[in-house]
Structure 1
Amino acid sequence: MANGPASYFPSIEAKYGKPVDEWLTLLAAAGTTGHSALVNWLKTEHSLGHGHATALVQFHLNPGKWARD
């Protein structure tokens, strides 16, 4: 079972209609770096909630830290 940020992935996909891999691709191409800047970018440009944006950014910045089922 996924833990950490990945535990949010099913609800992110259901709520926003995009697979997590698409969100991670968008983050990689965002043209900004740093946790806060990326979270704010997701919130303002894509209307994600704070918790969902934070989970995606944490995973994006540290992909090897958490399991992803």
Structure 2
Amino acid sequence: MFDASVRPGETDEHESLTSADRMEPKNMTTPPKGNPASYFPSIETKYGRPVQDWIDLINASPLTKHMELVGWLKTEHGLGHGHANALVAHTLAGRK
């Protein structure tokens, strides 16, 4: 990588990094894909309700489609998209 502020004979602090190290920073709080339950601790912390309350609420809803339920949790209950999506995915998977 070229850095105009580096004088001849000096090394750029990024020279020793591999190309993988220079990629976008890894978000260590992002749960692994395919595991909605990994969001549960942060959901309980942020919204102050046990996950089972949210699951019961989803199961009591007359809505049945994934994105309808996600939208409902977001608009009526103030959840963020990722949290609502994780709760709905987990709940609907349990119905199968």
Which of the pair has more CA radius of gyration?
2
Report the alpha carbon displacement of residue 30 of structure 1 after superposing the two structures with TM.
Answer: 1.3
Question: What residue ranges of structure 2 are gaps of 5+ in the alignment?
Answer: 1-33
> Greater share of helix residues, 1 or 2?
1
Q: Which has the higher contact order (CA 8 A, sep 6+)?
A: 1
Query: What count of residue pairs does the alignment treat as equivalent?
Result: 63
Runs of 5+ consecutive residues of structure 1 not aligned to the other structure: none
- Among 38, 50, 54, the residue aligned to 2:69: 38
- 1:23 corresponds to: 54
Percent identity (aligned): 60
Q: TM-score under structure 1 normalisation?
A: 0.85
Question: In the aligned structure 1, how far is the partner of 2:76 from the partner of 2:95?
Answer: 26
Residues 25 and 64 of structure 1, relative CA distance in 2, 3 Å threshold: closer
Matched, 1:12 2:50: no
For residues 16-66 of structure 1, what are the alpha-carbon distances to aligned partners after superposition, in whole Å with 9 as ceiling and x for unaligned?
00000000000011111110000000000100000000000000000289x
